[in-house]
Amino acid sequence: MNQEIAKIFREMAFILEAQNVAFKPRAYERSFEVLETLTDDVEDLYRKGGLKSLQQIPSIGKALAEHIEEYIKTKKIKEYQTLKKQLPVDISGLSAIEGLGPKKIQELYLKLKIKNVADLEEAISLGKIAKLENFGKKSEENITRGLSFAKTATTRIPLGYILPLAQSIVDKLKKVPGVKKVVLAGSIRRYQETIGDIDILALSDNTQKIMDVFVNLPEVDKILGQGLTKSTVHLKTGMDADLRVVAPEVFGAALQYFTGDKNHNVKVREIAISKGYKLSEYGLFKKEKIIACKTEEEIYNKLGMDYIPPEIRTDSGEIEAAIKHKLPKLISYGSLKGDLQTTTNWTDGETPIKEMAEAAIKLGLEYIAVTDHTQALTITHGLNEKMLMRQAKEIDKINLQYQKEGKNFRILKSAEININKDGTLDINDETLKKLEIVSVAVHSSFRMSKEDMTKRILCAIENPYVNILFHPTGRLINKREAYEVDMDAIILAAKKNNVVLELDCFPDRMDLKDVYVRKAVEAGVKIAIDTDSHSPEHLKFLEFGIGTARRAWVTKNDVINTWPVEKLLKWCSKK
């Protein structure tokens, strides 16, 4: 329901913008963004507390609450239908073309009756665009180019998969003579789970040189814009990259600006105005006089706030908390002592137990849990009770050896146990008792009703031996939707039964996602940040899980694998 209404509000914002209506578009745009990430279902909120509780949602006032009410009751919003009649076009399709915004799309409709991408292609083939007032030959070329990009455009890519490319571009730019510093900004610096484009900030006194290198990189397909301080390119992978170059002395202001997100920046700038300042990428100004620009910290402090870490700059309470000096101390990178989900060649992993352990030791970890699949997942040759006990013996052997060598490392006996369709587990209690950590997950029948799936998972959570629920929503980014499940009920049950929810940081899982992690932690539920490694290479994904945890305001003590192994095991056995 949230997504349906969000989409309508976005279209309303777009049409209002086309009609040059003042301020309303931003109000609708804000409500779209809020609804899109809201974890509570508006229908539930409305049933429980009516219009009043809808108005509790940030950026939703009387008028928008009534729109939501109307949609819940009638599946329609009259005002939307009226607006849509005035611009009855495929907004999402047309606006996906770079350079086409509300005004131009409206003009194309009014003058040429262009309603969708197919109409647009036809108009171009007939040479109609270039003849249009306010358009021209260049516009036609740009739209043509935009059309071909829109076809090959990649969807947002998981952070872990895009970072190597982004980093390699940064490394190349660093080598340009005269360049003092190059850093990643934007959604990458905020550790967002998926990335839409790569934002790079460079410090240099000679902007021309680095711009030339940037737009001529071998990774570049087309230059979309090139100026003295800002350039945009379309990469061969299908993603866009922006480079912003500023003078070294305004680094803090530029980094703050270029990190975003947009809503955070807007609010910070509004606060600047209310204090008689102006904030831009060039600094914090009082009239013409520069107040702060060297570091981000300085800028936040001058505005009466504590420093806000990039990951939580989303305008979801962090600014208010920073003013009150009540920001949490977020879990820091490198603070995990172990990884509680790793798969070995006993099932569908690539490497023997010991090799995985050695890789973990190299990364400075103190323990891993071996969590091979269990028997119901036949495709992975899942282990039965007998095999699990045989694996346990092997683990004992390696641990003993580590002990003799004086190594501070331990392999924990565990498994990724299937939750059957009826909520029972595919390993018997006798064997569960013998495992040091019992972790469970859904791997089949993803398309159950929300009610049945919730019951199924609650049943597993209530099993007295269960410690961790792995990848709680089952989603695979860009591949598989999350199954439908009542996350509030899961969180409640997890708290009650002392079951940990996993933040699986394999890049295309990132499951739980940030908004749910935040909810879980607020409810007092503990989190485990695991890689779900199927090869030693994957262990490095821990960093991305910490990034997401930080986005969710998670502190060190919320995460059980920051604990020493003794504390962890004691906590698990207390059940």
Residues in contact with DNA by CB under 7 A are 20, 22-24, 26-28, 30-31, 55, 58-65, 79, 95, 98-105, 133-140, 142, 186, 197, 199, 225-232, 240, 242, 260, 262, 265-266, 269-270, 272-275, 278-282
Strand partners, 480: 476
Q: Nearest Cα to 243, choosing from 276, 285, 214?
A: 214
Compute the least distance from the CB of residue 546 to DNA, in Å.
25
Name the minimum Å distance from CB 36 to DNA.
16
C-beta closer to DNA: residue 7 or 556: 7
* Minimal distance, residue 104 CB to DNA, in Å: 3
**Closer residue to DNA in complex, CB, 14/506:** 14
Q: How many Å separate Cα 521 from the centre of its chain?
A: 17
- Does 542 sit behind a cis peptide bond, omega within 30 degrees of 0 on the bond before it? no
Q: Which long-range contacts (CB under 8 A, 24 or more apart) does 299-307 make?
A: 299/252, 299/253, 299/256, 300/256, 300/268, 302/277, 303/268, 303/271, 303/272, 303/275, 303/277, 303/279, 304/271, 304/275, 305/271
Q: Do 416 and 375 touch, CB atoms closer than 8 A?
A: no
Compare residues 68 and 554 and give the one whose CB is closer to DNA.
68
Rounded to whole angstroms, the Cα distance separating 304 from 271 reads 9
For DNA, the closer CB: 20 or 403: 20
> Got the DSSP string for 52-82?
HHHHTSTT--HHHHHHHHHHHHHS--HHHHH
Please say which residue, 225 or 464, places its beta carbon nearer to DNA.
225
Nearer to DNA, 82 or 449 (CB): 82
Report in angstroms how near the CB of residue 278 gets to DNA at its nearest: 4
83 or 359: CB nearest DNA: 83
Give dist(CA 199, CA 507) in Å, integer. Answer: 19
- Residue number with CB closer to DNA (232 or 351): 232
Percentages (nearest 5) of helix, strand, coil residues in the chain: 50, 15, 35
Q: Is 287 helix (H, G, I), strand (E, B) or coil?
A: coil
The smaller minimum CB distance to DNA, of residues 242 and 486, is found at 242
The stretches of 344-449 forming alpha helices (DSSP H) are 353-362, 385-404, 429-434
Cβ distance 530 to 340 under 8 Å?
yes
Distance in Å, CB of 348 to DNA, minimum = 39
Q: How far is the CB of 322 from DNA (least distance, A)?
A: 14
Parallel, antiparallel, or unpaired: how do β-strands 527-530 and 500-504 relate?
A: parallel
What sign does the CA torsion over 304, 310, 311, 316 have?
A: positive
For the sheet with 230-235, list strands across it. 179-184, 197-204, 240-246, 230-235, 220-226
| 493-497, long-range: CB < 8 A, 24+ apart | 493/458, 493/461, 493/462, 494/461, 494/469, 494/520, 494/525, 495/523, 495/524, 495/525, 497/461, 497/462, 497/466, 497/575
- Give min distance, CB of 531 to DNA, in A: 30
Alpha carbon distance 275, 278 (integer Å)? 9
If one counts every other C-beta atom within 10 angstroms of the C-beta of residue 424, the result is 13
Residue 292, φ and ψ in degrees, nearest 5: -155, 145
Tokens of 86: 């005035």
Burial class (CB in 10 A: 0-12, 13-18, 19+), 72: middle
As measured in angstroms, the least distance from the Cβ of 548 to DNA is 21
Minimum distance between the CB of residue 272 and DNA, rounded to whole angstroms?
Answer: 6
Minimum Å gap between C-beta 197 and DNA is 6
Output phi, psi for 58, to 5 deg: -60, 140
Q: Which is nearer to DNA, 67 or 475 (CB)?
A: 67
Task: State the nearest-atom distance from the C-beta of 167 to DNA, in Å.
Answer: 19
Task: Return the bridge partners of 179, or none.
Answer: 204
For DNA, the closer CB: 232 or 548: 232
* Of 14 and 346, CB closest to DNA: 14
Nearer to DNA, 33 or 486 (CB): 33
- Rounded Cα gap, residues 511 and 517, in angstroms: 9
Least spacing, CB of residue 187 vs DNA, in Å:
9
> Quick check: 160 and 544 in contact, CB under 8 A?
yes
Q: How far is the CB of 51 from DNA (least distance, A)?
A: 11
